[in-house]
Structures are given as C-alpha cells and as structure tokens.
Amino acid sequence: MLLRAILLSCFALPMISCEDQNLDESNKYQEEFTGITETDYYGQLIGEVDSTDWDLPDSSNTDGLPVDYAFNPAYPNPTSWSVALRFPLPVSSSTSLVIITAGGDTVVQLVKGMLPAGFHQVRWSLQDNNGVRVPAAIYRAVLQAGDYRSHGDIQVDDLNPDPDAFSGITETDMHGFLSGAIDSTDWDLPDSSGNGGIPTSYGFYPAFPNPANERVALKFQLPVQSLTSIVILATVDDTIRHLVQEYMESGTHWIAWDLLDADSIRVPQAIYRAVLQAGDYQSHGDILVLD
C-alpha cells in the first residue's frame, strides 16, 4: 500500500512545464505511419524493430540506474486488451506520455508530471480520456522527458476472441476442487511455495466454481512485487471488464468476479476468458457463465 501511495503521488505532482509542447503533438506527429514493431506478451521481439519507431536502450550503470533515455517497444503488439510501455530515465525528468491517432489527435494522456530516475512501466488499457475503449486502428505512443522525445506505433485489434481458441473449461466446484481434468491450454498451476509462504514462481489457479452463475473466484500468486492486470474477455458483445490494474506485493492473492461487465450489467450465458498479466508473466483461463 505504501508503494502504491508513492506511485500515485508521483503522478499527482504539478503539471509539467512543457504543456504547450503536448498541445501541439498533433502537428508534430502527423507523418505517415510506417508499420509496427511486433512483440509478444513477454516483450520479446517477433520481427525486426521498425527503424522509425522506439529507441532501444544501450546499457545500465553499475548501480542499476539507466545511463540514457530510451523507449522500449510496446508489448504485446498487436494487442486487443492492453499494452505495456517501458522507458528508462537517467535523471529525474518532467515526463509526458500520450497516445495519439494517426491523424495526430490526442486519445489519452498516460503520464504528465515529474518522474524519478529509474526504469518505468505504464500500461494502456486501450481506453481514451473518457474511459471508452478505442476502435481498432494504429495509434502512436509519444514520450517526452525533458528534452528527450521518442515515439512508437501500436496496432489495436478488435476485441473478438476467436471461438476456436476456446478449447473448453476446467470444471471446479464451490471449494475449488477439480471436477475433471485441467484443460491443457488453460491456467497455470504453480509447483510450490518458498520459505515463509512466499511463492517461488508465478501461477494462475483454475477459477471456481466453474461453471458459475453468481460469482467466480480467481486465485493467483506472485513471487515478487509486480504490476498486475486481470481482465475478462468476452466472446460475445465485445465486452471487457478490468478486475485488477495495480502494483501488488509478492504472495498469494484472491479476486472475485461478480459476472458483471464494465457497465455493471450482468453478462449473458457464454464462455469468457480471464487474462492475468504480472510483469512479463502472462496466463489465462476460460470460464463458463450460466444464466
């Protein structure tokens, strides 16, 4: 909780002095989009880095602090639910991170304030400044830190999971006990916990009960403090629900989904996907919701 308060205070600092520079981003970045740098859910490059995008860092100091500014390729890219943006700052800097359209219009301001030297990560949930999910398109992330400026392009796809990708569910009872075999494409049972109950690895336990008609519990474990996101993807009505999006301490955690969507409307009977992202770790599992 203390770390969350510190992080929130960093973003609540007075607005940076380069506000006028942010206002004319649309004039500075209306050049043609040349493509994207494809990455997977773990931040690994799938192909070549677009030569007009991003700015890979060279190295770090012996004390672990960056030696220069940089803007790592966003991941995953393309994306249909959220994307992580990472950048190092060699010194404390007035920092702005904004998402714009191909036409240069501002979509959302993700960062605006003083940030300390170090390595930073921000997650964009694919929503605009009004909290509305953006349509499928190419968007540009623009980073300004002091006199440093860089950008990179992000491809947002429609939130329409392929029904063929859902291979079934892992059935569980009200107490979390398995009612059958685990779907090999779902969830991620951890091996063990370390000393003192601190997990030695990430894990995403099968949701329970599954099927569900009132609420479902999601259990996961973090071996280290991690920026954590859990979202629910729907196979119908393009619905998404963010359950978690914050830094969380190491340990075992529980979260309940009340079977409501982002508008607090009860979702219809269907199969839904819970997606966990914690740092570079990613896992998912399917949930059958009954009427």
Pair 90, 120: CB distance under 8 Å: no
Query: Closest by alpha carbon to 220, among 212, 228, 211, 232?
Result: 228
CA gyration radius, the chain: 20
5: helix, strand or coil: helix
Cα dist from 117 to 61, 145, 259, whole Å: 12, 11, 41
The CA distances from residue 25 to 16, 20, 72, in Å, are: 15, 9, 20
* pTM (2 d.p.): 0.54
Q: Of the spans 50-59, 71-80, 200-209, which averages the highest pLDDT? A: 200-209
Token pair listed for 160: 């329409």
- CB contact set of 257 (below 8 Å; sequence gap of 6+): 207, 215, 216, 218, 232, 241, 243, 274, 287
Per-residue pLDDT band at 17 (split at 50, 70, 90): very low
- The model's confidence at residue 8, banded by pLDDT at 50, 70 and 90, is very low
In the numeric block, the tokens 């529980």 are attached to 254
The mean pLDDT of 173-196, rounded to a whole number, is 79
The CATH number of the structural domain formed by 163-289 is 2.60.40
**Cβ-contact 253, 230 below 8 angstroms:** no
Contact 232, 243 (CB under 8 A): yes
Assess whether the region 2-156 and the region 163-289 belong to the same CATH fold. Answer: yes
CA angle 186, 163, 83 (to 5 degrees): 65
Question: Does the domain formed by 2-156 have CATH 2.70.98.40?
Answer: no
Q: Which residue has tokens 């049972």?
A: 189
Amino acid at 169: I
Tokens coding 225: 């403090």
Alpha-carbon distance 6 to 3, whole Å? 5
29, two tokens: 């970045």
Cα–Cα distance for residue pair 131/236, rounded to 1 Å: 20
Question: What percent of the chain stands above pLDDT 70?
Answer: 78
At 50 the three-state DSSP class reads coil
Neighbour count for residue 127 (Cβ, 10 Å): 17
Indicate the helix (H) or strand (E) that contains 285.
Answer: strand 281-289
Q: Which residues 6+ apart lie within 8 Å of 198 measured at CB? A: 223, 250, 251
Per-residue pLDDT, averaged over 24-51, amounts to 68
Q: pLDDT, tens digit, for every residue of 112-168?
A: 999 999 989 888 878 899 888 899 999 999 999 999 999 999 999 875 445 445 567
Extents of the domains making up the chain: 2-156, 163-289
Mean pLDDT over 81-103 rounds to: 91
Cis peptide before 116 (omega within 30 of 0): no
